[in-house]
Every structure is written in structure tokens, then in C-alpha cells.
Amino acid sequence: GESVGLHLPTLSVQEGDNSIINCAYSNSASDYFIWYKQESGKGPQFIIDIRSNMDKRQGQRVTVLLNKTVKHLSLQIAATQPGDSAVYFCAESDQFYFGTGTSLTVIP
């Protein structure tokens, strides 16, 4: 069936470096995507979203890129901080499949 998923289950980065978390989706009709962050002991929290008519959207230290040709999303975190350590999920708005997420560990 249709789904979204993530490329790597774990990612370790040095504090201060940039992080890139990838996500692939299969439904070419998807028109809206959301990134969530789940810290230990908490539920997922909304980070940033993007519509399919956009290629890029920037937030505070985060940027989401959308490549509809290859059905690929990425979340870029600039100057990664220890507080960014969490599991990151991408999701399509009209479905409720989050994948297993990518666990980001920031090394001080």
C-alpha cells in the first residue's frame, strides 16, 4: 500500500554540525507533508510542514526540501544542538502512517 518511510533508523552528528534526515514516500498524489519530532518521554511534536507546490520551506534552524520527481523529502537541521536529539518522523497529511522514524543523536 501507500506509505512514507525513512531511510536511516539512526543518525549521529557532532554538535554544531548540520543534520540531514531523509524520507521517501510512495503516493505521488500526496500534496502535503509534515515533520514531527519525538523526544524521550514525550509524544511527537510538529516541527514544520510543506505543500507539494513548494520545493523548500524554512523555519528556525530547520529546512524541509521536497523533490516530487523522486518522491523524497529531507529535513535539514542547522548547527545541531543536544536538544535536537530525538526521533524524527515524516507523515502525509491525509494519512496516518509515520514510519519508524530516524533517531538523531547529537554528540557533544
Residues that bind another protein in the complex, under the rule CB under 8 A: 31-32, 34, 36, 41-46, 49, 51, 89, 93-94, 96-101
Considering the complex, state which of residue 29 and residue 108 has its C-beta at the smaller distance from another protein: 29
Q: How far is CA 89 from CA 57, 92, 108, in A?
A: 17, 10, 23
CB of 32 to another protein, least distance (A): 4
Considering the complex, state which of residue 56 and residue 79 has its C-beta at the smaller distance from another protein: 56
CB of 17 to another protein, least distance (A): 27
